[in-house]
Structure 1
Amino acid sequence: MEATNQYADRKKKSKFSLHALNFHLQPLYFMLPAIILLGIFLFLPAILTIYYAFTDYYLLTPDKREFVGFSNFVELFTDPVFMRSLQNIVVFVVCIIIVQVGTALGLALLINKNRKGNIFLKIAFFSPVVMSLVVVSVLWLYLLNPTDGLINSILQTVGIDAQPFLTSPKQAIYVLVFVSAWQGAGYQMLIFLAGLQNISREVYEAAKIDGANRWQSFLHVTLPLLRPTTTLIIFTTLIAAFKLIIQPMIMTQGGPLNSTMTPIFYIYQTGFTDRLVGYASAMTVVFGLLIAIVSFLQRKLAKEDI
């Protein structure tokens, strides 16, 4: 009888433990589809990329790939096109942060006050954001045509010589900065607008009582209180800027003279046009590490603000 009771107790405890384990694993069951998708489309490609970076994998002969060690990486740092693409992306990132964030803040300040036509201005400023980057790039490609583009026609009307724009190695990267800022500033504008509207009017009234004019209120009230918002916008803009590919692909094909070649576009050309998957994977690994380092440093610096 005692043995029967002990067996029943053990069985009961076993069922209870199984039930408790099943209860604790329930969140994992809900996460399982996402984990599987991440594994297939994120973790597995990342692992394969690292593996291929150490091989001479050619897309048309996948069965003949051989391990080549660090040869791809050695060649990479002596590749003038890749080094130029890194230089271009640094110039683009610095310029786009200054131009796009500054433009977004200016537009947010413009529509922050209650005045007629604000709804129209919000729609007008935000509308480029919802447009496809391909459409935007083709549109500006026609507008910036050096011979019969609308922009040069306007410049010549006011007595300014026609500009080469996208056909000039000195101007092309800055044209891409302008086009990208025009397309993306509306999104950051809305975030800035939300930050401005969260600033209490009492703070401005206190500053006014202390004798501060509008410019002083902007410098000593608006900007400090917008610091967390600004940090967030700079962080997201920086990450997005490193992924530049559509604009140079459509508008310049990386030219002239590789002046608008970016790492992502060069990786795409090497991997899918030249079919050098091993070499493209090495570029991906190096560029991914650079982005990770920059993101970590910025996150470290902005940790208190976000």
Structure 2
Amino acid sequence: MVKSKAIKKQSESVAAAAFVGPAFVLLIAFLLVPMIYTVYFSVFRYQIMRPNDITFINIENYVKLFKDPDFWHAFRNTLYFTIVVVPVQSALALALALLVASKTRGVAFFRTMYFAPQLTSMVVISILWTILYNSNPSTGLINSLLTSLGMESINFLSNPRTAMNSIIFMSAWQGAGYQMMIFIAGLQAIPSSHYEAASVDGANSFQKLIYITLPGLKSTIKYVIMITMIQAMKLFTQPYVMTKGGPQNATKTLVYYIYTEGFQEGNFGYACSAAAVFFVIVVTMSLVMKRLTTAKE
């Protein structure tokens, strides 16, 4: 009996290793090793077009990075995008989830349609919205609608004051579908008996939202905010496709800055130092967000 239990335990360990092993190997190969090499190359002067010409320069790349006004400008753009898009996208996703969770006719079709952007490449969506934002009313659908209403056309992507906000609007629309599905799962986990008891006590819909739904979604809200913040910090595709970081660097983010320095300018070592600092910023913001949400409990 003891022997059979030992054999069973051993077979379970082998099965667990077989399932976890490949993921663990991929994690090391595509996450841990690149991180180590990023930190390693960050202390070298390394031109990507001259791989044999590599010189150890200690922390010179970091000193240059912190003195570079373009880096701080990209950091401010990234921070602005994150601060605005996270609450907007999360609130929109929650509102959509509440709408879909209601027993309204046609919500299944609505849920499918609003989740559809998640199944489409961000490059394709960025190209479509670039056309929608076109300042020419004969080409841009949004400006065509504005001019038909007697309003002036807006240079959504060519004006530094509106370019980032236009990307924020598009990003919130595209990403809310994924968070909506997470909120729907959270809503389904709330016992229906809570709502029934509230109805017996005479609570209205708003009171149910404040005292039952939102407290029941506390963990879900924390998770959605965390993943949305991390995704927002990694903003790259939309500025790259829609504005190329312009106009006047108004949409140049930290990831776009790293890409420019590493693959356009060829300063691979300098780009690695920027990537290392970016990693520290994301981890720090994640820890601060976790601490804030935990403290509120």
CA deviation map 1:26-71 (0-9, x unaligned): 8657655444433332222211111111111011112121111111
Cα shift at 1:266: 0.9
Q: Which of 284, 298, 302 is the equivalent residue of 2:289?
A: 298
CA deviation map 1:10-30 (0-9, x unaligned): xxxxxxxxxx99997886576
Alignment match, 2:197: 206
Q: Which of 134, 139, 151 is the equivalent residue of 2:142?
A: 151
| Structure 2 residue 261 is matched with structure 1 residue 275 | no
CA deviation map 1:177-208 (0-9, x unaligned): 11111111111111111222222232223223
CA deviation map 1:113-136 (0-9, x unaligned): 213211211111111111100000
Q: Which of 161, 176, 181 is the equivalent residue of 1:170?
A: 161
**Which one is further off, 193-202 or 245-254?**
193-202
- Partners of 2:247 and 2:286 lie apart in 1 by 30
Alignment match, 1:236: 227
Cα shift at 1:305: 9.5
Alignment match, 1:250: 241
AA aligned to 1:163 is: I
AA aligned to 1:169 is: P
Q: Which of 7, 20, 26 is the equivalent residue of 1:37?
A: 26
Cα shift at 1:298: 2.3
Residues 228 and 305 in structure 1, CA contact (< 8 A), matched pair in contact too: no
Q: Unaligned stretches of 5+ in structure 1?
A: 1-19
Rg: which structure is higher? 1
Q: Which of 251, 255, 263 is the equivalent residue of 1:264?
A: 255
Q: Which of 211, 232, 256 is the equivalent residue of 1:220?
A: 211
- Partners of 2:129 and 2:198 lie apart in 1 by 44
**How high is the TM-score relative to the length of structure 2?**
0.89
Alignment match, 1:140: 129
- Partners of 1:175 and 1:87 lie apart in 2 by 17
- Partners of 2:114 and 2:25 lie apart in 1 by 40
The structure-2 alpha-carbon separation of the partners of 1:221 and 1:28, relative to structure 1 and needing over 3 Å to count, comes to: closer
Q: SS where residue 167 of structure 1 aligns? A: coil
The structure-2 alpha-carbon separation of the partners of 1:31 and 1:133, relative to structure 1 and needing over 3 Å to count, comes to: same
Residues 227 and 305 in structure 1, CA contact (< 8 A), matched pair in contact too: no
Q: Unaligned stretches of 5+ in structure 2?
A: 1-8
Cα shift at 1:304: 8.5
The structure-2 alpha-carbon separation of the partners of 1:275 and 1:126, relative to structure 1 and needing over 3 Å to count, comes to: same
Alignment match, 1:16: none
AA aligned to 1:236 is: I
Identity %: 40
AA aligned to 2:43 is: F
Q: Tell me the matched-pair count.
A: 287
**Which one is further off, 142-151 or 43-52?**
43-52
RMSD: 2.4
| Structure 2 residue 71 is matched with structure 1 residue 87 | no
The structure-2 alpha-carbon separation of the partners of 1:116 and 1:86, relative to structure 1 and needing over 3 Å to count, comes to: same
Cα shift at 1:227: 1.1
The structure-2 alpha-carbon separation of the partners of 1:32 and 1:215, relative to structure 1 and needing over 3 Å to count, comes to: closer
**How high is the TM-score relative to the length of structure 1?**
0.87
Cα shift at 1:171: 0.9
| Structure 2 residue 118 is matched with structure 1 residue 125 | no
